[in-house]
Structure 1
Amino acid sequence: MEKLLNQWLWSEEFWLPPTITWHDIGGKTGGSRRPLPRDLLVALPLALGFIAVRFAFERVVALPLSRKLGVFDRVQVRVPPNPMLEAFYMQRKKHFTQSELMGLAKPCGLTLRQIQNWLRLRRKRDKPSNTKKFCEASWRFVFYLTAFTAGLAFLIDTAWFWDHRECWRGYPRQPVAESHYWYYILELSFYWSLLLCVSVDVKRKDFKEQIIHHIATISLISFSYCANYVRVGTVVMLLHDSSDFLLESAKMFNYAGWKKTCDSLFVVFAVVFLGTRLFVFPCRVLYSTFAESLDFFKPFPGYYLFNGLLLVLQALHIFWAYLILRMLYKFIFLGKVERDERSDDESDVEEEGEDSGMEEECCWEQSKGSLNSKLTSLADNCVLNNLTHQRRNMNSRLPKAR
């Protein structure tokens, strides 16, 4: 099995530059270590540990903090119990047609309008509360702030932090300090925990993009560690953490109703995000991985995979930058940030569209019925008028005939 894995999964021709073997990377010297793929196995139990710590943090710290900051939840609407509609809702959620609702009217003993109102109230009850959103944002804020502070402390004195060419000098025989190793492993464990909890977290508009982002990030961290791209990897992680904690703090104050603080933090976040993700990342990091690295080794399949994953991240940066610029436009010209375009509950807009569509269809059915009744009455009146007119003509002609 080990021979098969080394031949197919850990092929040196794919993952490493020509003439480089895994023996050139692996090992441990002094207070530093050389990366080995098996080092990443510790990330999975740590991810479960992150989930347990998050569970405790949200209940012991985040929940009392939300009450002190004045986080207000919407009043839960009471939904009349109806087992048949409940079973239909749990099976179909939001994907149902008008004909299916009309088929439920007779078995439930309700009108079409009553069924539509019941489903609307049922969906509102499933919406996540502001407290849940606040707890989730506060956990991410604590981690991103801690990771950014620790990463900056670890990298501020390194040569490759200021000169990205140093990321490749001496590659692949570059020892990894213990602090950089744990910085890498903890970031990987955290993103694994986010991916494992994606089904219970608040579902947002960019849900699919977040899944792609988590998978690309986990793949990047894992591959860059195995191939000893740790130096450039630490720079990439630090760039991402620099704006993420600002976004999470803006969300926290938004859920607490502190609009001015939220708007101010959002503007700072937008400046940092656009500067790091649209300028520093492509102009410094991507340029270094694409061009400067070729001064130290020749291209190989892993080189293209690594840069392809970085391009996926950059595409997501552009997508999120578009949403942020749209919010900045609202802030500048409308005077406030009305919605979090990147992170609001995904179901809000969809439900509004569905509700309006259901109402329009119902109104159309009503107007169609009234129109048919009017046409029918109009036709009846026309027939009666014609018969009356013919009778009068016959009566007027009878004396002349006599």
Structure 2
Amino acid sequence: MTAYEVMLLNRNGWEWWNDTTTLWDRPWQDSGECPADLRTLYIAQLAIWFVTAFSHKFVEAKHNDYFVMYGHHVATLGLVSLSYFNGWQPIGLSTLFVHDSSDIVVDLLKMVNYLGYDAKSGLFLAEGFFAINLVTWFLMRTYFFLLKVIRSTIPKDLFAPGWGDYNRSAPLISPQNACRLLLIVLSLMHVYWYCLFWRILVRLLRGSAGHEAGREYEGSSDSEPEENGKKANVNARKRTFRLQMLTDNWPVQVFGVC
């Protein structure tokens, strides 16, 4: 998905990414229809987020950040829909690129974790990808999201001369302001999860076992009685230090009992 988004951004010379004043333009307003490849991306993204929202609501166990995660799904669905139907594909594409590019490391982290490539026997691959995730999450979802996307939502010179690129007027209750509000909400969620990553890491470095450090995220769920019944089998298996880490779409054990 990220490669497809890079192709779309590269088609116009990365103008939307480099010049944030263009993110709220409507490049296909006159023609009335955006290109087929960009429309395909939006359809795929809407389908993915509908599925993840449904899964989070009806399939997955409830963790401590259940409502934050569900709010993230709803906000993303709202942003994708608003940007497409109002012709703001530049801001939508840039937001999707920031999210999906940071998910590359998260997906690799899930893969090595599921394969058991952690600790010394796994060449510390899970631990290494978790450390890389701390960097990529900060760069894409905190730094670049603020520098590119959020900056485009702030009125010109509101906080400092030359900072802020939003130069359009709109009623208080309007699709533009709804989109801007959802982007700010997403940014706050990114910071919340990034702090959670560091909090889990600090607890590990202080000597907490990985599954204990992860309880802060896990909380309680309906599956807890069933898990307690399997403790004897779990204790007989190999234990490693794992975290319970949160991805953008679903929870993933990153250093726990295997």
TM-score strictly above 0.5: yes
Aligned residue in 1 for 2:88: 229
Q: 1:170 to 1:257 in 2, by over 3 A?
A: closer
| Amino acid of the structure 1 residue aligned with 2:21 | R
Q: Is the 8 A contact 1:249 1:265 kept in 2?
A: yes
Instruction: Report the CA distance shift for 1:150/1:271 in structure 2 as closer, same or farther (over 3 A).
Output: same
**Greater displacement, 335-344 / 267-276:** 335-344
Partner residue of 1:299? 170
Q: What's the secondary structure of 1:347's corresponding residue?
A: coil
Q: Deviations over 1:34-82 (max 9, x none)?
A: xxxxxxxxxxxxxxxxxxxxxxxxxxxxxxxxxxxxxxxxxxxxxxxxx
- Matched-pair contact (CA < 8 Å) for 1:165–1:288: yes
Among residues 35, 38, 55, which one is paired with 1:197 in the alignment?
A: 55
User: How many Å separate the matches in 2 of 1:345 and 1:152?
Assistant: 35
Shift of 1:333: 5.5
SS at match of 1:247: helix
Matched, 1:257 2:125: no
The residue matched to 1:156 in structure 2 has which SS?
Answer: helix
Structure of larger gyration radius: 1
Q: CA deviation at 1:181?
A: 1.2
Q: TM-score, normalised by structure 1?
A: 0.46
Contact 1:239–1:276 (8 Å) recurs in 2: yes
Give the aligned partner of residue 273 of structure 1. 137
Which AA in structure 1 matches 2:9?
L
Give 3-state SS (helix, strand or coil) of 1:176's partner: coil
Give TM-score scaled by structure 2 length: 0.68
User: Residues of 1 paired with 2:108 and 2:213: CA distance?
Assistant: 13
Tell me whether 1:327 sits opposite 2:200 in the alignment: yes
Counterpart CA distance in 1 for 2:134 and 2:82 is 30
Distance 1:247 1:336, change over 3 A: farther
2:43 paired residue among 182, 185, 196: 185
Partner of 2:67: 208
- Cα 1:244–1:255, aligned 2, differ >3 Å: closer, same or farther? same
SS of 2:50 mapped into structure 1: helix
Structure 1 distance, partners of 2:103, 2:24, is: 27
Unaligned stretches of 5+ residues in structure 2:
119-123, 156-163, 229-258
Question: Which residue of structure 1 aligns with residue 161 of structure 2?
Answer: none
1:225, 1:190 → 2: CA distance?
Answer: 15
CA displacement at 1:279 relative to structure 2 = 1.3
User: What displacement does 1:257 show?
Assistant: 2.4
Q: CA deviation at 1:231?
A: 0.6
Q: How much is the aligned-residue C-alpha RMSD, in angstroms?
A: 3.1
Query: 2:35 & 2:154 partners in 1: Cα distance?
Result: 25
Say if 2:16 and 2:23, in contact at 8 Å, map to a contact too: yes
Q: 1:243 aligns with which of 98, 102, 113?
A: 102
Alpha-carbon distance in structure 2 between the residues aligned to 1:220 and 1:170 = 15
**What is the percent sequence identity of the aligned residues?**
23
Across the two proteins, how many residue pairs are aligned to each other?
Answer: 206
Distance 1:343 1:186, change over 3 A: farther
Q: What displacement does 1:162 show? A: 2.2
Give the whole-Å Cα distance in 1 for the aligned partners of 2:99 and 2:23: 18
SS of corresponding position for 1:258: coil
- Which residue of the other structure, out of 16, 21, 34, is the alignment partner of 1:165? 21
Q: Within 5 A, what are the aligned runs for 1:2-401? A: 147-158=1-12, 159-169=15-25, 173=29, 176-198=34-56, 199-259=58-118, 260-291=124-155, 294-295=166-167, 297-300=168-171, 301-330=174-203, 334=207, 341=214, 345-347=218-220
Cα distance in 2 for partners of 1:170, 1:255 equals 43
